[in-house]
């Protein structure tokens, strides 16, 4: 508090009377504010998230195709989802994609995060910036770049690999290699995201723990196994879950590169939803398949919620 009087003081103005403006009481004004503030977001979410959820559920029991009046057909669409060989194939493919993508992206991201977190690495900031760059590239553009690099005739990477005696042919036309290839493109595009999450987790580990273990004579591997990995456990679990959720939604690079082929070997659930819903106009069936995706994601989401509440507990 200063003791000198302020030379230019604004004249005293009494606070506005409660509910000063117009005939509204303070309480009504407060309620009006809440309503006005919430209304835009609530409208958007109600119309484009909550209503579609209900609508997709209802549609999944009909034979809606966008033209005729939908008829109720009971569980037929769900029976198709779980018995049709092609649909089951798309689910197996999605799981295969997740099995390829998730471990690869977790290992890549963790390895690079450990590297970037090592104080002995010179120019850490520069490397972090460069390694972050794929994050800003769209999956579609990533797909174009890799398609050119891996082109069997004029691809630079293909040419270099042949120099090392590696003949891989046209990966996107090869039923055995197409899926690993599209998963690898997603690994390249998304590892920076998970790397940053790991880096944040690594920086939460108190350095004193490492010093103590060094004094106890633990080697680098010992420190990694007994300090880094256990303390990073929650972060890792969390990354595995969000990477798997992302894997269930695989679409972009597959649409660009293979269109689900060759021989449906890269046909994922979202590709199937896209084709059934927007090409075949089998909206009822596509909605049923959407709900399977939704339930699978919700289950993973609950695991994530459980992990993060455990993380919050650990932090307390």
Partner 1 sequence: MSTTTLASGTSALSRRIAPALLFLIALAATLITLLPIAIVIFTAFKPTAEVNAFPPTLLPEAWTLANFERIFTDLPFARLIVNSFVFAGGVTLLSLTFDALAAYVLARIDFRGSRILLIALIGSLMIPFQATLIPVYQLVADLGWINSYAGLIAPRAADAFGIFFLRQFFLSLPRDLDSAARVDGASEVRIFRSIVLPNAVPALVTLGVYNFVNNWNDLLWPLVMTTDPEMGTITSGLTALTGPGGIIPFGVMMAGSLIALLPLAILFLFLQRRFVASVASTGLK
Does position 168 bind partner 1 by CB under 8 A?
no
Q: Cβ(182)–Cβ(97) under 8 Å?
A: yes
Q: Cβ(228)–Cβ(234) under 8 Å?
A: no
Does position 55 bind partner 1 by CB under 8 A?
yes
Q: What are phi and psi of 244, to 5 degrees?
A: -70, -40
As beta bridge partners, residue 72 has: 62
Distance CA 241, CA 315 (A): 20
Task: Indicate which single residue of 25, 65, 86, 129 sits in contact with partner 1 (rule: CB under 8 A).
Answer: 129
Distance CA 172, CA 174 (A): 6
User: What residues numbered 81-110 form the site for partner 1, per CB under 8 A?
Assistant: none
Distance CA 230, CA 225 (A): 7
| Residue 2 in tokens | 């200063």
The count of residues in the chain is 316
CB-wise, 4 or 31, nearer to partner 1?
Answer: 31
Window contacting partner 1 (CB under 8 A); options: 1-9, 53-61, 84-92, 93-101 = 53-61
Q: How many residues touch partner 1 (CB under 8 A)?
A: 114
Distance CA 104, CA 187 (A): 7
Q: From 293, 297, 290, select the one nearest 58 (Cα to Cα).
A: 290
**Shortest separation between residue 88's beta carbon and partner 1, angstroms:** 19
Does position 176 bind partner 1 by CB under 8 A?
no
Does position 33 bind partner 1 by CB under 8 A?
yes
Alpha carbon distance, N-terminus to C-terminus of the chain: 38
User: What residues numbered 207-246 form the site for partner 1, per CB under 8 A?
Assistant: 207, 210-211, 219-221, 223-224, 228, 238-239, 242, 245
Window contacting partner 1 (CB under 8 A); options: 2-10, 74-82, 175-183, 266-274 = 266-274
User: What residues numbered 273-312 form the site for partner 1, per CB under 8 A?
Assistant: 273-274, 277-278, 283, 286-287, 290-291, 293-294, 297-298, 301-302
Task: Indicate which single residue of 23, 120, 167, 316 sits in contact with partner 1 (rule: CB under 8 A).
Answer: 120
Task: Indicate which single residue of 30, 65, 72, 79 sits in contact with partner 1 (rule: CB under 8 A).
Answer: 30
Does position 252 bind partner 1 by CB under 8 A?
yes
The verdict on whether omega for the bond into residue 136 sits within 30 degrees of 0, i.e. cis, is no
Does position 29 bind partner 1 by CB under 8 A?
yes
CB-wise, 177 or 235, nearer to partner 1?
Answer: 235
């Amino acid at each position: 508090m200063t003791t000198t009087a302020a030379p230019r003081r604004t004249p005293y103005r009494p606070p506005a009377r409660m509910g000063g403006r117009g005939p509204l009481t303070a309480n009504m004004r407060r309620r009006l504010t809440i309503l006005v503030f919430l209304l835009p977001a609530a409208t958007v979410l109600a119309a484009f998230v909550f209503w579609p959820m209900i609508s997709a559920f209802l549609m999944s029991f009909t034979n809606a195709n966008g033209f005729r009046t939908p008829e109720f057909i009971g569980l037929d669409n769900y029976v198709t989802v779980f018995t049709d060989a092609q649909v089951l194939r798309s689910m197996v493919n999605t799981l295969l994609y997740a099995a390829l993508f998730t471990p690869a992206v977790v290992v890549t991201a963790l390895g690079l995060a450990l590297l970037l977190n090592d104080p002995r690495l010179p120019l850490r900031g520069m490397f972090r910036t460069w390694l972050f760059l794929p994050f800003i590239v769209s999956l579609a553009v990533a797909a174009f770049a890799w398609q050119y690099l891996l082109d069997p005739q004029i691809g630079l990477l293909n040419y270099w690999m042949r120099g090392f005696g590696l003949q891989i042919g046209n990966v996107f036309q090869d039923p055995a290699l197409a899926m690993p290839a599209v998963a690898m493109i997603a690994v390249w595009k998304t590892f920076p995201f998970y790397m940053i999450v790991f880096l944040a987790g690594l920086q939460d580990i108190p350095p004193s723990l490492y010093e103590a273990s060094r004094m106890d004579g633990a080697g680098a591997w010992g420190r990694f196994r007994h300090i880094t990995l256990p303390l990073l456990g929650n972060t890792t679990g969390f990354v595995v879950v969000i990477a798997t959720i992302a894997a269930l939604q695989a679409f972009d690079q597959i649409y660009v590169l293979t269109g689900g082929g060759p021989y449906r070997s890269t046909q994922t659930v979202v590709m199937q939803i896209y084709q059934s819903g927007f090409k075949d106009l089998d909206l009822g069936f596509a909605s049923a398949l959407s709900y399977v995706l939704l339930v699978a994601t919700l289950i993973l989401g609950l695991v994530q919620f459980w992990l993060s509440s455990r993380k919050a507990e650990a932090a307390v």
